[in-house]
A and B are shown apart, each in its own frame.
Chain A
Amino acid sequence: MAESVPEVPSGEAARLTGITKHFFGVAANEDVDFDLRWGEIHALLGENGAGKSTLCSVLAGLYHPDSGEIHLDGEPVDLSSPHQALDHGVGMVYQHFRLVDRFTVAENLTLGHPETGFFTSRRSLERQVGELGRRYGLEVSPQAAVWQLSVGEQQRVEILKLLYRGVRILILDEPTAVLTPQESQNLFHTLRALADDGQAIIFVTHKLDEVMAVADRVTVLRDGRKVGAMPTSEADPATLARMMVGRDLSVPERPRTAPGEPVLSIKGVTAEGDRGLEAIRDVEIEVRASQIVGVAGVAGNGQRELAEVVTGLRRPKRGQIIMGGVDITRSSTLDRIKLGLGFVPEDRMRTGMAGGLPLAANLALKAYRQPPLSRGPVLSKQAVEYRARTLEKQFDIRGVRGALPTSLLSGGNIQRAILARELSAQPRVLVAAAPTRGLDVAAIQAIRQLLIEEAEAGTAILMISEDLEEILDLSDEVIVLYEGQVMGRLPRDRADPDLLGMLMAGRTVDAA
């Protein structure tokens, strides 16, 4: 139990030496050393595919390393399952939460807990949850069902679950990816309180600001190897970025071309979500040629439905969508594609790509209908392959190995491939949903650069993103969605993170 850790321990919590882990001949970790002290927040920084998740999974008992040793509290250990790791007090909060939606918070906590008997005292459990919650700022109602909770609250449940299980080494895999700026701040306070109580925390991220804001020390990984480790007091963002990427980074500059004609008009659109409730209500958005309109908001506030309504995957209940003077409200997805609508969906692996198919097929997903890829009903394999080779070169898509499934590519390369496919169709309107979510710094930069160039070339871009930095860097106009409604509409020069954060949390702001 967590309350049985009254004295603050000191010294080494975990030491990993010479960790090597290969997947199918590719080194995910190569001779990585890592050490963690009690009472510290240790950031693990690196791009996607740098081996952060693998290293954490080794410590969490999910993967067994090919070679290398793990010491916990000075003792060598063999962790061959997450269960064993938990018994040693090591627990991980994954990016995708592992909670049972229909169960209450309390039920999720007891699930799989070794002391859970056939009968469990609900009252004592709820008392403990309340105590843990108060102590670390993890308040959440024990009786609430998980599906009723916001993403931030679900994350608290994940952390509570581990604390309740007696975990003293806490690993968080990109915990802020799903949070609002305010929620992230709260999480940082929680982590600090835990560290002050002697817990050891590994904080996986690729965001430099977060490292600087919350971590005591940082270890940087690149290409599966450790590049360096240092206290954050001795680090600065530019150095860390260089270590992470291996070269200097330049921030893409957004030139300001005067916007042209309105190309996409969303007029008073209301649509239902999957549960039959109104997911977006009376949404009004206009996007002009050469303009990037950013739609900000916390995940689950109607962004997905908005994108689907525009692209024809969802029928609106009311309202009108006009593209290039044509009313497309009732048009099929195919007709919209033919009119010049491009779409980068947020669900890359199942919507944006058929993950089990080779990349060449995925790059042909829309172009296969016309010559040169097909003539009449007949598809030209050579043309499909040739086009794939060309796009791979043009958009620098790497890691492609013949007929292997696309899902084996890294997130960044998959996203490049989706953009390659969409942009090569020369769209008039591009809807980009979470275009850089989960990507590494270099890929984010490349994708943003592509979007900027596309806008400069005259395309109207509707960019839906939960990443405020991205919204602020790229958008000409920012629209904030909250519970399916437009909370505010700000030109770029009047938008700032605090104002947007408040609008995203549903507070009306005079300036908006």
Chain B
Amino acid sequence: MNLSLGSRRLTVESRPVASRTVRFLAPTFSVALAFVIGALILLATGQDPVLAYTEMIRKGFLGRLAITGTLIIATPLIFTGLAAVVAFRMKVWNIGAEGQFILGAVASSGVGLWVGDQVGGPAGIVLMLVAGALAGALFAALAALPRAYLNTDEVISTLMLNFVALGIMNYLIFSSFSFWRDPGRATFPVGKFVEDVLLLPRMVGRLHVGLIIALAFTVIIWWALRYTKWGFEVMVTGDSPRAALYSGMRVDRKILSVLMVSGALAGLGGGIEVGGVLGNLDPRALSLGVGFTGIVVAALARLSPFGVIPVAILVASFSNAAPGLQVLGIPSEIVILLEGILFLCIVAGEWFLRNAIRVERMAGPAGAEAPAS
């Protein structure tokens, strides 16, 4: 591609590998640019961007309450982010983390209500979380089986299954007198609370051990992708399914296992949200789009498991700061706006990782060249 500007010519060439500098600079500039655009929008709407940003940092990170609140919000995002990383690494597009997260919450709250205080705390918690992961995996399998054996489009099926999951949860609480619903509350339907022994232990303030579990799974996923035969097969299949088939790999089973692992992670996230924060099946608190945000988190983390952690925390800090901004008269929607701008800027920045721009003088062969990115 060529573009002439006066006596200079801009040439775009694809580059196979970006240098270390570019790999650092591109995302840094992207993030900076996102905040600049956000500031311009704030200015245009008559708000003070400096105030808004300092408030976001203050309410998101400074002080015990702020940081624990942020980390609590980040925990489920780490799970759904990891879920997307695992699937996207193999170029299998699981858009269904939202539904898998919800069904994980349904299953683990169900198991929690069922075991009551019969088995004691630790065993009960493990049962709840396993149930959550299992439910997420099985729900993902609904999309994975036809994808693996009939080659249906997993984007559509996982996306649509989100609505199925949401419908199931709403039905259990709002439209029926199910096992999950608290019969004692006649006015507004809510989920029955599990026994206190089944709640995840807390570390600092309301911050529960779910964060530690999330960090542990980050390490496990990183290790599995990098140091196991399974991870190797995921990598090969993601790069070239034909090469995978040719070298004797079972691509169909890999699709199944990857989607189920992805679903299990999202489902586990749902279970941890119930055990660590909610204590019951709360449809309003569980349908805030954690699954969809996970996709954004994974994309911003460039599909790196460890990248998921800081990105999830950053995005969580936005949500955590939003109510505080509202108090100052700054519309809390600014955080959603910023999330979106950030995403667009990072995606645009990706382009610079794959392409190099060169500026040359048109006249003569001795034109100066400078990489512009």
Contact = CB atoms under 8 A, between A and B. Distances in A.
B188 interface: no
B246 A345 contact: yes
A374 interface: yes
Interface in B216-255: 226-232, 235-236, 239-240, 242-250
Contact of B229 (A356, A377, A404): A377
Contacts of B243: 350-354, 362, 365
A458 interface: no
A324 interface: no
Q: Which of A24, A65, A404 has the most CB of B within 10 A?
A: A24
Contact of A347 (B226, B230, B236, B242): B242
Contact of A368 (B15, B232, B245, B369): B232
A333 B228 contact: no
A379 B227 contact: yes
Given A67-B366, A81-B2, A365-B247, 11 more contacts: A68-B365, A69-B365, A80-B4, A313-B245, A333-B247, A333-B248, A351-B242, A353-B243, A354-B240, A374-B229, A377-B229
Contacts of B240: 350-351, 353-356
A245 B296 CA distance: 52
B239 to A, nearest CB: 4
B357 interface: no
Contacts of B372: none
Interface residues of A, number: 45
B42 interface: no
A18 interface: yes
A214 interface: no
B302 interface: no
B248 A352 contact: no
A290 B244 CA distance: 29
Contacts of B58: none
Given A64-B11, A81-B2, A405-B16, A311 B246 contact: yes
B44 interface: no
Contacts of B229: 368-369, 374, 377-379
Interface string A156-170: 000000000000000
A381 B231 CA distance: 12
B235 A357 contact: yes
5 contacts: A18-B365, A68-B365, A350-B240, A350-B243, A366-B247
B362 interface: yes
Interface residues of B, number: 32
B257 to A, nearest CB: 12
A350 B240 CA distance: 6
A408 interface: yes
A18 B366 CA distance: 12
The 5 A-B residue pairs whose C-beta atoms are closest, nearest first, are A334-B248, A67-B365, A354-B239, A354-B240, A365-B247
Interface string B1-22: 0101000010100011100000
B16 A24 contact: yes
B230 A337 contact: no
Nearest to A336: B248
Contacts of B231: 379
Interface string B347-366: 00000000000001010011
Nearest to A375: B229
B373 to A, nearest CB: 14
B17 to A, nearest CB: 6
B15 A24 contact: yes
Given A356-B239, A357-B236, A374-B229, A337 B248 contact: yes
Nearest to A403: B17
A239 interface: no
A332 interface: yes
Interface of B: 2, 4, 9, 11, 15-17, 226-232, 235-236, 239-240, 242-250, 360, 362, 365-366, 369
Contact of A405 (B17, B230, B249): B17
B2 A355 contact: no
Interface in A337-369: 337, 343, 345, 347, 350-357, 361-362, 364-366, 368-369
Contact of B236 (A65, A336, A365): A365
A252 to B, nearest CB: 27
Nearest to B246: A351
A405 B230 CA distance: 20
A352 B236 CA distance: 11
Contacts of A347: 242
A365 B244 CA distance: 8
Nearest to A19: B365
Contacts of B366: 67
Contacts of A18: 365
Contact of B362 (A78, A333, A350): A78
Contacts of A355: 239-240
Contacts of B246: 311, 313, 333, 343, 345, 351-352
Given A69-B365, A361-B232, A378 B227 contact: yes
A404 B236 CA distance: 15
B232 A64 contact: no
A374 B369 CA distance: 48
Interface in A373-420: 374, 377-379, 381, 404-405, 407-408
Contacts of B227: 378-379, 381
Nearest to B237: A354
Contacts of A352: 243, 246
Contacts of A364: 232
A353 B244 CA distance: 9
Nearest to A343: B246
A354 B237 CA distance: 8
Contacts of A361: 232, 235-236
Contacts of B16: 24, 404-405, 407-408
Interface string A119-144: 00000000000000000000000000
